[in-house]
Structure 1
Amino acid sequence: MSGPLTFLVASPHLQGSLFEGAVVLLLEHDVQGAMGLIVNLPTGQSVSELLSDLPGQEETTWLGGPVDPALGWCLYPHAVGLEGEVKLCEELHVTSSLEVLQAVARSGQRYMLLLGYCGWGSGQLTEEAREGSWVWVEQDSPELLWDVDAAERWDEALRRLGVTPGTIMPGGAQA
């Protein structure tokens, strides 16, 4: 898998839920459903606090979504050459392999450890987008992850579309 990255940006009207203000990196979307990782919701816990076999890893962990929070996902720029790595685009790989996560941490490169993921059933994400819950942002590079502070990712993603949050109408586009 390699190509433009798709970020789902929560509509300003999606309030009162885990997804309020969320930016989700979409990993998969087909007729069977979709899955992605919230990339702007820190847990406040460091990697070392979560995984004692990775001492000195003070990077924060992130809540990737409400589904299976015991499952960890790692986003990182440079492949480490192990089984279980998926290249999403230049300078962005993903894995759910603990062995790969350990190699990434030892390599000294930046990374995000996310717990859980977001999942949608068949047609659900398309319907939510039609209702106006999500704005789709495609990017050729992962700079939104690596170069934008997590607290600013939602605003920045919308800015890249030329959208001011207050101008998004509830209800989405209807034809």
Structure 2
Amino acid sequence: MNLTHHFLIATPNLADSLFSGSVVYVCEHNENGAMGIIINKPSPIGMEVVFASSGNRIPERFIDHFVMMGGPVQVDRGFVVHTPIGNWQSTLSITDDTAISTSRDVIESLAKDERINKAILSIGYSSWTKGQLEREIAENAWLVAPADSHILFDTPIEEKHGAALSKLGINAVNLMNGVGYA
């Protein structure tokens, strides 16, 4: 199973407060584990802070946008999921046109040119050790859906969870906590 470029959608069985109601974009999944970014949990940090800290004005396309709480790992570090991939100092390709970068040159480019069409910034990321994600899926903590760039980059934050569920034909009101028996 390779869930790279998929969404993990938290079910009501997932009691962890950070992950409750979250949608995680899986950036890498292999035999050693998985890594992803929560795409629907905004931090209190507005994008204007990111650009101001690099000495740049915020581009109009990022006004009123927030940095996401990507997960509980390395919360002191920034991550940028973006399209197209480009040529940056520290980048992991996810698909032929989507990547995740951690280098400052990506932020500079976002501020100064249009080489990056779309981007989500996060502080921290989510990770799972070998076999952990597979166990959590088997325990009904996560639903899995193919990723969709429209949901990833263009859907408003408050609609991402419902939009990801709709890819599976599920309405959020139909999800229940627990297991039933007949």
For normalisation by structure 2, the TM-score amounts to 0.81
Cα-Cα RMSD: 2.3
> What is the alpha-carbon distance in structure 2 between the residues aligned to residue 136 and residue 28 of structure 1?
14
Q: Report what 1:95 is aligned to.
A: 101
Residue 104 of structure 1 corresponds to which residue in structure 2? 110
* Match of residue 41 from structure 1: 41
Measured against aligned partners, the alpha-carbon deviations of 1:33-81 in whole angstroms (never above 9, x if no partner) come to: 1111000111132233245114322442111101110111101222443
Pairing 1:116–2:117 present = no
Task: Indicate yes or no: 2:19 matched with 1:13.
Answer: no
- CA drift of 1:147 comes to 2.4
In structure 1, what is the Cα distance between the partners aligned to 2:95 and 2:86? 15
Unmatched tracts of structure 1, length 5 or more:
none
The aligned counterpart of 1:72 is: 78
Q: Structure 1 residues 116 and 110, CA, compared in 2 at 3 Å: closer, same or farther? A: same
Whether contact under 8 Å (2:4, 2:28) holds in the other structure is: no
8 Å CA contact 1:5–1:142 kept in 2: the answer is no
1:106-130 Cα shifts (integer Å, max 9, x gaps): 2244321110000111111111100
Partner SS for 1:99: helix
Provide the TM-score with structure 1 as the length reference: 0.84
8 Å CA contact retained: 1:68, 1:116: yes
- The alpha-carbon deviation at position 4 of structure 1 amounts to 7.1
Distance 1:90 1:54, change over 3 A: farther
Flag structure 2 segments of 5+ consecutive residues without an equivalent: none
Provide the residue aligned with 2:160 in structure 1. 153
